[in-house]
């Protein structure tokens, strides 16, 4: 029985190491993506995240809105029984955290 517990603990250690490395790679990838975004794209994503849901009609930059919808950073939703709104996803939160280091920050890096 002791041998099985020892082997199990080794498996858990390996999984921890692998998942830690994968998480670091994911964060690094998101950080690179964030760095490639324009200031207006970053501002818009932060605005949608912090103020959302917001009306799609209130987004002036249609190309950026469409890009965010395609990548899954935002999704259409209903708000107070009405359609035509968008809200940021958990993926957007991860992107903002990776780029800013803090999701509550509104400052440009």
pLDDT digits (tens, 9 = 90+) for 1-10: 566 566 656 6
pLDDT score at 86: 92
Structural domain includes residue 84: yes
Structural domain includes residue 109: no
Grade residue 81 by pLDDT with cuts at 50, 70 and 90.
confident
Structural domain includes residue 44: yes
What residues contact 87, with CB distance under 8 A and at least 6 apart? 48, 52, 53, 54, 74, 75, 77, 79
Structural domain including 42 reads: 2-100
Structural domain includes residue 106: no
Structural domain includes residue 21: yes
pLDDT score at 108: 44
Structural domain includes residue 41: yes
pLDDT score at 107: 45
Q: What is the pTM of this model?
A: 0.66
- For residue 6, what is the domain's CATH number? 1.10.10
Q: Quote the Cα angle for 102-50-68, to 5°.
A: 90
What residues contact 69, with CB distance under 8 A and at least 6 apart? 75, 76, 86
Domain count, the chain: 1
Q: What percent of the chain has pLDDT over 70?
A: 69
Structural domain includes residue 61: yes
């Amino acid at each position: 029985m002791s041998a099985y517990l020892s082997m199990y603990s080794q498996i858990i250690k390996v999984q921890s190491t692998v998942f830690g490395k994968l998480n670091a790679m994911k964060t690094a990838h998101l950080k690179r993506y964030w760095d490639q975004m324009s200031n207006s794209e970053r501002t818009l994503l932060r605005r949608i995240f912090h103020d959302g849901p917001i009306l799609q009609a209130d987004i002036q930059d249609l190309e950026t809105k469409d890009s965010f919808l395609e990548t899954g950073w935002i999704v259409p939703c209903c708000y107070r029984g009405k359609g035509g709104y968008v809200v940021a996803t958990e993926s957007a939160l991860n992107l903002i955290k990776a780029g800013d280091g803090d999701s509550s920050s509104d400052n440009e890096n």
